[in-house]
């Protein structure tokens, strides 16, 4: 099974790296109010990837509001 997982990871490597770079490009760690849209965008980015993996996501919201 390990070889199958390794082969899958290797076959998707470019996509995984592109998605990681896209996520890391979002300035999502801040307490500044002007970054709230970026934090929401990062939250939705993660929620979309979880949904694509078949994981139920009730909602993506920022705490505290």
Residues 6+ apart with CB under 8 A from 57: 47, 50, 51
Is 62 within the bounds of a domain?
Answer: no
Over its length of 65 residues, how does the chain's per-residue pLDDT go in tens digits?
Answer: 688 999 999 999 999 999 999 999 998 887 888 888 898 899 899 999 999 999 999 876 666 66
Is 65 within the bounds of a domain?
Answer: no
Q: How many domains, the chain? A: 1
The per-residue pLDDT for 64 is 63
Is 60 within the bounds of a domain?
Answer: no
Is 18 within the bounds of a domain?
Answer: yes
The per-residue pLDDT for 63 is 67
Q: Is residue 21 within a helix (H) or strand (E), and if so which, with residue range?
A: helix 13-24
Is 13 within the bounds of a domain?
Answer: yes
Is 57 within the bounds of a domain?
Answer: no
Is 63 within the bounds of a domain?
Answer: no
Please report, for residues 7, 16, 21, 28, 33, the alpha-carbon distance to residue 42 in angstroms, rounded to integers and kept in the order given. 29, 16, 12, 6, 15
Parent domain of 27 = 2-52
Is 19 within the bounds of a domain?
Answer: yes
């Amino acid at each position: 099974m390990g070889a199958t997982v390794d082969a899958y990871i290797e076959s998707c490597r470019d996509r995984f790296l592109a998605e990681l770079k896209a996520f890391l490009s979002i300035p999502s760690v801040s307490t500044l109010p002007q970054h709230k849209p970026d934090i929401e965008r990062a939250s939705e980015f993660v929620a979309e990837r979880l949904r694509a993996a078949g994981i139920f996501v009730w909602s993506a919201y920022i705490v505290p509001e």
